[in-house]
A and B are shown apart, each in its own frame.
Chain A
């Protein structure tokens, strides 16, 4: 399944900045960063639960927020990009 993960972490304290880094790092293991705090992920049931659990353990629930949306796919027909496209086509060949 395709998910979009967005988050908002209060970074006015040093501890908040650390949480932000840890949230970003956790997300990187599950999908690709397409904006500063937006990730596109392709996950099976198990990975999804794992990610939710991990993020829940990192954030401060009274200050931060994470929103995860389930979507059809990330193909050109369901996504419009204006400006810089940072995403890698998850269905195309992965070649560098």
Chain B
């Protein structure tokens, strides 16, 4: 008997109220019921824009360990509600110690960057096979070769800043090549030329920022679930309020979850330039219909299955973060082998 697949409920209608009634979650708008679903099928609730949650709903979710998250319409994270801190205080103590140990930090950092660059390469190589224009194919392959060269420098990187330097170089190289994976007719209407953020200034970056926020949120939940502190990271330096470890954990997932979803959305014409709004100041934001398309594709990707190279069994993309959070906990706890990132085989 397979366990029931739990869902994330996305609520984004302006003025919607999410409440609990017995064991049912109700979403109402001006007194009219929009949706009624059983609470037991929900893993987390995400509210975007002007959405409110009633106190009884929040209390119930906190007690059950279902997370509730609020984001702005632009996809900026506002707050999350989690129940009582679970997990193992000894693990967290080991985490603080690992973060202070130069050898251990360096080993984990290297593994994270290696996983990320490997997955970026696989995405470039795999997507390049479907490209019509030989010039685009060549550009994607050339970038993949450059990434491979950087990857070979990683094992000898003996200082955290060296590892971060390799990460920075590869990120720029990868994002410069990413435009070649967009269908040429789509590329003509989008002004995507590498990554920009805070705020994102073109549709591709707006979608990437939105997806990365959702990915970070999932990573925080996964880390809290295994009892790690999302704020004590290795690759990402500590800053007040920054979920450094969650950001570390999503590095290897960015290409295969977020970037892949972004490419599908644009290449399959599920997003049009009209789905975006330009805000004063030049920031670009997804409109309501556009967000709906993003959730649908994100959900589809999270339900797709992939063979986990270490576990030798199929897992859904949506569960990968939970699996990798456990791997991270094991690496932090043990004296032996370091962290094993998820390596995607294109």
The interface of chain A, by Cβ under 8 A from chain B, is: 1, 25-26, 28-33, 41-45, 47, 88, 90-96
Contacts and interface: CB of A to CB of B under 8 A. Distances in A.
B226 to A, nearest CB: 22
B38 A94 contact: no
Contacts of B36: 28, 32-33
A67 to B, nearest CB: 20
Most chain A C-beta atoms within 10 Å of own C-beta, residue among B7, B21, B27, B34: B7
A94 B4 contact: no
Contact of B40 (A1, A45, A47): A47
B295 A88 contact: no
Contact of A96 (B5, B27, B38, B296): B27
> What secondary structure prevails in chain B residues at the interface with A?
mixed
B258 interface: no
A96 B7 contact: no
A29 B39 CA distance: 7
B61 interface: no
A26 B38 CA distance: 10
Given A1-B1, A96-B10, A28 B22 contact: yes
Contacts of A33: 36
B4 A95 contact: no
B296 A45 contact: no
Contacts of A28: 21-24, 36, 38
Contacts of B10: 93-96
B190 interface: no
B308 to A, nearest CB: 22
Size range of the chain B interface in the assembly = 20 to 34
Interface of B: 1, 3-5, 7-13, 16, 21-24, 27, 34-41, 292, 295-296, 298-300, 303
Contacts of B40: 29-30, 47
Contact of B9 (A45, A91, A92, A94): A94
Contacts of B292: 95
A30 B1 contact: no
A42 B41 contact: yes
A96 B35 contact: yes
B12 A96 contact: yes
5 contacts: A25-B22, A28-B22, A30-B23, A30-B40, A93-B10
A94 B8 contact: yes
A32 B12 contact: no
Given A29-B22, A45-B1, A88-B35, A95 B41 contact: no
B299 to A, nearest CB: 4
Most chain A C-beta atoms within 10 Å of own C-beta, residue among B1, B3, B5, B296: B1
A96 B1 contact: no
Given A41-B38, A96-B10, 17 more contacts: A28-B21, A28-B38, A30-B23, A30-B40, A32-B36, A32-B37, A42-B4, A44-B4, A45-B1, A47-B4, A92-B299, A95-B12, A95-B292, A95-B295, A95-B296, A96-B12, A96-B16
A95 B303 CA distance: 16
